[in-house]
Amino acid sequence: MINFEDITPENWEKWKEPVLRSELIFPESLRSTEEEFRVTLDTPSNIAKIIRLDGRYIGNAFGCGAVHFDFYRQSRQAVCAEEIHINNIVIEPPYQGHGHGTRLLQEFMGEARRKGYKKLIGFFRPNHSLRLVRKLDCVEKSVHPDWFGTGEDYVFCEIDLSVKYFKKLKAV
């Protein structure tokens, strides 16, 4: 059975090890530190979720209101409080390809809507994460070659969280 749980400062110790382990799939220069995760958790407008399958951790998603990202200003002309930047979505490799990433992103997007966000934004690797947001009708805005020296091009995407669109999303 699939279920979701918010990660909070109060339960961070419970989820710290699997979340930090999940970071190993990212290039070293892009891995989030425990301190960066704690900053996300300490801001009520941010979102942090885990997905479990039969009680076992299988992935996570973390996002921050776009106003919290200084580096983000370099890519956009204006930072909007109605946007949430998803900076991490991970499904453990043995559980990929079974729709868990879609379920996690839908849960994340629902929480973002409840918090008043109108748009989800993010930079996505040309792997499962980009395929996932393409499946959810993202708008690809720009490509960033050799993202932070990783040798990979990342794609900046937006997803509309409007009520009309969200009803369509629930059907996926």
Using the CB atoms, write b or e for 38-54: b if 16+ within 10 Å.
eebbeeeebbbbbbebe
| Contact (CB, 8 A) for 4 and 104 | yes
Give the whole-angstrom CA distance, residue 139 versus residue 171: 19
- Residue 30 scores a pLDDT above 80: yes
Q: How confident is the model at residue 17 (pLDDT cuts 50, 70, 90)?
A: very high
The mean per-residue pLDDT over the stretch 24-30 comes to 86
**Does the pLDDT value for residue 144 go beyond 60?**
yes
- CATH number (domain holding residue 26): 3.40.630.30
Range(s) of the domain holding residue 100: 2-170
Distance CA 84, CA 114 (A): 12
Return mean pLDDT, the chain.
Answer: 85
Number of domains composing the chain = 1
* Position 60 pLDDT exceeds 60: yes
Q: What is the percent of the chain with per-residue pLDDT over 70, rounded to a whole number?
A: 85
pLDDT of residue 76: 43
Per-residue model confidence (pLDDT) at position 135: 87
CA distance 54 to 41: 25
pLDDT in tens, 67-122: 544 444 444 434 567 899 998 899 999 999 999 999 999 999 999 999 999 999 99
Give the pLDDT score at 34. 92
Residue 21 has pLDDT above 70, yes or no: yes
What is the share, in percent, of the chain residues with pLDDT greater than 90? 54
Distance CA 142, CA 70 (A): 18
Q: In this predicted model, which residue has the larger pLDDT, 47 or 129? A: 47
Instruction: Provide the whole-model pTM.
Output: 0.85
